[in-house]
Structure 1
Amino acid sequence: MYKILLCGVFFLLAIAGFTTLSFSSNNKYHYKADLKLPSGFSAIIVADSLGRVRHLEVNKQGDIYVKLSALKDGKGIYFLNDINHDGIIDKKTTFGDYAGTGIKIKNQYLYSTSNSGVFRYKLNDKGEVIAPDKPEIIVQGLVDKKRDNSKSIAIDDENNLYVTIGSYSDACRETNSEKGIPGCPLLDSVGGIWKFKADKLNQSYGDAVHFARGLKNAVGIDWNSSTKSLFATHHGRTIDDKFPQYYTAKQSAELPAETLYELRQGADAGWPFVYYDHIQKKKILAPEYGGDGKITGDKKFIDPVVAFPAHLGPNDLLFYTGSMFPKRYKNGAFIVFHAKSAELKKGYMVAFVPFVNGVPSGDWEIFADNFAGVDLDKPAGPLKYRPMGLAQGPDGSLYVSDDLKGAIFRITYSDKTSK
């Protein structure tokens, strides 16, 4: 009888658009993660072997939605269900027939992106998708030329939807030339952030506000409800061997900075015309547009609020609003670094930027380290994990996704007396 009922459950989930991957306590993950964390913090792995995971979101019940950049068994979204709310995943189901990056919960809807659009699903009072096989199309027709094509999303307090659209060109050069294209016409459709309505169907570029320009690839994005502004991380361009007269090999490896911007409507961060040099601490005119590594860039382009060493790959951003962590973390920014800095000889980590009254209030710091599990100065083996996405649980815990093995980490804090 039990087997008959169980088969019936699987059948109902399948016709509803879900694919069930596990339904057994024997498949639970819950083991300590070997991360380096500040005193009082600890981490466990709550899910593993999920595939090419990208961003993730946690509902009010503690269940986790995870977006995949490559389909697994034909599906692109995981729903990891914590049935008894003990912090351990009891059941995994999948739905959605498209790959992508962005995922967000807002106003009883789950929003999810492909590499060319945005979809949404109505949630029930348990935070579960009601009709997984019938998503509403919110945005469609966004540029996807395979390179830097992830569409990350944020939603503000007035139900505006922000979508990042990365550039498939690193420096907007003329064909077979080292010169930049005057005005860079690519900026009309890539290299920025567009603002849509979160509750309007079938939107395209023509329905959007071109919210911010000059961002080559902003994979990390979050709305800060404290400052009432949008923040985004920016992947810096590469300084390659096309300009040896201006840059040494060392400079090419250590420039330009990865950056965090606060964005208001109409902001322009300057790509491809300028880049930010964290060593000289100023904007520099790009070599394609007449720069030599020293000429200062135009003042009309905004400065970052924080600059990080080159090539760290900031792939997600989260402003912490929970109460589990000590007070210094409240309203501060967590940033996932998905790659390695030649300058630091470190990477694959989660950083923290303290904020006070809406502005950074000190140097950025490494919060969670050793995802790689190897000495990055003298690596002698393969990477274990590579962090990718961030989410906050209803209890204030921090979730981190890994796209190398498809693991989900949960970081908690236990010493409440030091708040």
Structure 2
Amino acid sequence: MRIWLLSLSALLLLFAAPAFGEVHLDRLVLPKGFHIAVYSDQVQNAREIALGAKGTVFVGSMDAGKVYALTDTQHDGHADKVRVLASGLEMPVGVAFHHGDLYISAVSRIYVLRDIENHLDDPPKLELVTDKLPSETHHGWRFIAFGPDGKLYVPIGAPCNVCDKGEAYAKITRMNADGSGAQDVAYGIRNTVGFDWRSGSHQLWFTDNGRDMMGDDIPSDELNRLSHVGEHFGFPYCHEGDVLDPDFGKGHSCKDYTPPVLKLGAHVASLGMRFYGGSLFPAGYKGAILVAEHGSWNRSKKSGYRVMTVRLNGDKVASYQPLITGFEENEQAWGRPVDVQPLPDGSVLVSDDLAGAVYRVTYKP
């Protein structure tokens, strides 16, 4: 009877535990001198990362419906506390920290947790910022961030693989922190799940996912730069700057739309991107863009499943090279990078929604 009770207890623990994937750091390949370690392997469906003023790492999720707070109380590069701040939300992918408050995207709604770093053990109730966003879940998960202008930037993805919904979808919008003053910023963007502002210029750069069902090699995902409000980047009429859509391209010219700064590759699923401004990495990384590529789902041979470095010379691309590979081997993926987030010490966090983990990348020659 005693043995049976122990077995039952073990079973209860097994079924109560969250279903995280397996982490295989030994399979990851980084340039010489770079090192990667697990920051936390208890972040189910880890998606966008945001940093608090007191060092808290906030992480959104997709199917898990949760928002996490990770704290490294020992300052040893590992989160020893993982708290769930909110649960039961619809695709709370996006998290953005602003003046002590944590903003959370949940498809048609954006919520806020006030003064969150002072209430990690007893989170306040969610306050509604807006419920005026589209409710479609196809490309309805939203990466969000506050810009240098103090406004919250929110993308509205196309609710389809490819369709023409006018200016209601496929765009980036911005609003005041209280949800008022909504304004369209850019159009022709199928689905951006990562953007950042370049230091000094305050120019917005963003990734965009190319449409599916045009074959293995077209169209490419894009890295784009916004030069003025109202700019149009082509979707659904033109893809990757030079490919007219077979269904919606008739009567249009790609010359009428802004081409990408860089073609990232077809179906790589480019998501989170940030400028690296730290000093821990070698000098050549200063000002470079780090891009998390989630990986293809509908290509005969997988692409993506990596973190890439885009070095710039002015507004031109100087190089496009891997920082982390090895999440996929022999057409089998164990990890899928989602977001990249530099830390104040110059290291970089990388979220992985398949393994349910957040990694920390450091450099020591």
Q: Same fold by TM-score, threshold 0.5 exceeded? A: yes
CA–CA distance in structure 2, aligned partners of residues 255 and 91 of structure 1: 43
Q: Which amino acid is 2:246 matched to?
A: P
Residue 47 of structure 2 aligns with an amino acid whose one-letter code is R
The corresponding residue for 1:159 is 150
Q: Equivalents in 1 of 2:230, 2:94: separation in Å?
A: 23
**Structure 1: how far apart are the matches of 2:219 and 2:24?**
38
The residue that corresponds to 1:197 in the other structure is 176
Task: State how 1:13-162 maps to structure 2 within 5 Å.
Answer: 34-71=27-64, 76-97=66-87, 98=89, 99-123=91-115, 129=120, 132-162=123-153
Distance 1:400 1:306 in 2: 22
Contact 1:353 1:365 in 2 (8 A): yes
Partner of residue 285, structure 1: 244
Q: In the alignment, which residue of structure 2 is the partner of 1:327?
A: 283
Which residue does the alignment assign to 2:200?
Answer: 226
* Residue type of the alignment partner of 1:350: V
Question: d(CA) in 1 for partners of 2:203 and 2:118?
Answer: 27
Deviation of 1:290 after TM superposition, in Å, equals: 5.0
Residues 122-168 of structure 1: CA distance to partner in whole angstroms, max 9, x if unpaired?
336x6765972323322322112121111111211220111011111
Q: 1:261 aligned to 2:224?
A: yes
Which amino acid in the other structure matches residue 316 of structure 2?
A: P
**What amino acid maps onto 2:157 in structure 1?**
G
Matches of 1:289 and 1:103, distance apart in 2: 34
Give structure 2 stretches of 5+ with no counterpart.
Answer: 1-16
Corresponding residue for residue 238 of structure 1:
212
Give, in whole Å, the separation in 2 of the partners of 1:122 and 1:321: 28
The total of aligned residue pairs comes to 342
Deviation at 1:299, TM superposition (A): 2.1
Distance change in 2, residues 1:139/1:222 (3 Å): farther
Given that 1:58 and 1:394 are in contact with CA atoms closer than 8 Å, whether structure 2 keeps it comes out as no
Query: Equivalents in 1 of 2:26, 2:342: separation in Å?
Result: 18
- Opposite residue 166 of structure 2, the aligned amino acid is L
Superposed displacement of residue 55, structure 1: 0.9
1:70 is matched by which residue type in structure 2?
D
Q: Which has the larger radius of gyration?
A: 1
Structure 2 CA distance for partners of 1:109 and 1:355, relative to 1, 3 Å: farther
Question: Which residue in the other structure is 2:238 paired with?
Answer: 274
Matching residue's letter, 1:229 = Q
Cα deviation, residue 304, structure 1: 0.7
CA displacement at 1:258 relative to structure 2? 0.6
Once residues 217 and 195 of structure 1 are traced to their aligned partners in structure 2, the CA distance between those partners, rounded to angstroms, is 15
Question: 1:90 is aligned with what amino acid?
Answer: D
CA distance in 2 between counterparts of 1:32 and 1:47 reads 13
CA RMSD of aligned residues (A): 2.7
2:46, 2:358 within 8 Å by CA — same for their partners in 1? no
Q: Does 1:355 align with 2:312?
A: yes
- After superposition, what is the alpha-carbon deviation per residue over 1:255-285, rounded to whole angstroms, capped at 9, x for unaligned? 0011011113111001111112xxxxx5222
Q: CA deviation at 1:108?
A: 2.5
The change in CA–CA distance for 1:284 and 1:127 in structure 2 (over 3 A counts) is farther
Gap change, CA 1:118 and 1:130, over 3 Å in 2: farther
Percent identity, aligned pairs only, is: 27
CA displacement, residues 304-361 of structure 1 (integer Å, 9 cap, x when unaligned): 111121100011111111111111111111111111395985420001100234x234
Supply the AA of the counterpart residue of 1:219.
V
Q: C-alpha displacement at 1:230, in angstroms?
A: 1.1
Structure 1's 127 and 347: CA in aligned 2 closer, same or farther, altered over 3 A? farther
Question: Residues 47 and 408 of structure 1 are in contact (CA less than 8 Å); yes or no, is this contact kept in structure 2?
Answer: yes
Is the Cα contact below 8 Å between 1:54 and 1:66 reproduced in 2? yes
**After alignment, is 59-68 or 347-356 more displaced?**
59-68
Counterpart mapping for 1:260-409 below 5 A: 260-263=223-226, 264-276=228-240, 282-291=241-250, 297-340=253-296, 346-357=303-314, 359-372=315-328, 374-375=329-330, 379=331, 382-409=332-359
**What amino acid is aligned across from residue 275 of structure 1 in structure 2?**
H
The residue aligned with 1:27 is none
